[in-house]
Amino acid sequence: MDAVSAALPAGLRGITLDLDDTLWPIAPVIEQAEAALHAWLARHAPAVAERFDTEALRLLRDDVARDHPDWAHDFTRIRHVSIGIALQRCGHDPLMADAAFAAFFEARNTLQPYPGVPEALARLAARWPLLALTNGNADLGRQPYGRHFRGTVSAREFGIGKPDGRIFQEAARRLGAAPHELLHVGDDWLLDVQGARAAGFHTAWIRHAHAPSPAEGTQGTWVVASLTELADRLLAG
C-alpha cells in the first residue's frame, strides 16, 4: 500500500465523499438488488421472470444505456425504463415498473459499510462538514450514518456526473467554500481523484487491494487503505 503522499490541506473547510465502493462494496449490493427484482417479477409478472433471468435483465438495462447515452448520469432512469420494456414485451402493464423498481431499490439500499466507516464518518463530521458526491443512486437518508452528511450532490439530480468539474463546483457551492478549501475522497482514480484535482480540490484516494498504480503517480494525493486510516491521519494533523 502506498503511503500518504500529501500534506494536511491548510484551511480545510469541508470534505466531499464518493459513496459506492468508498463507503461500502457495491458489487454484492447490486447482485442482491437484481435478485430481489427477479423475485418480485416471479411473484407479480411470472412471464417476465421466465423470459428474463437476472443476466438477461442486466443485458436489457445495458441496451437501454447504450441507446440513451444522454442518460448516463441517471442509473435510476435506465433501470426503471429497462424494467418497463421487459414488462411490455411480456404483455404486462409497463406501469408495474414502479413497484418492481421499488423492490430493486429497497435491496439496493440494504448496505453493509466497510469496517469502521460509520465511526470514521462520525469523527470526521465532528470536525468538518461532509457532503456526498456520487454518480450512483444510493439513498443516504435510509442509512443510519447518513445523519453525518449535510446533503448529497448526485449526478442524477444535477444532470452531470463525475469527473466533470461542474458537479464538483456545485458541491463547493453547497458547502460555501472554495474548491481549494475542500478535500474529495473516493475510490475511483479517474472519476474521483483526477476529476476533483482538475476542479481544484485536494484529493484522497481509498485504494483497494486490486487497484493498479496510476501511470502518473499519486504525488499530491492522500493514498489510504480505508476511511478509518484517512480519519486517523487527518485528525492527527
45 neighbors 97 (Cβ within 8 angstroms): no
Whether 18 is catalytic is: yes
Q: Across the beta sheet with 202-206, what order do the strands follow? A: 149-154, 130-134, 14-17, 182-186, 202-206, 221-224
In the set 18, 21, 164, 188, the catalytic residue is 18
- List the one residue out of 186, 54, 48 whose CA is nearest residue 107: 54
Contact 11, 181 (CB under 8 A): yes
Q: Which residues are catalytic?
A: 18
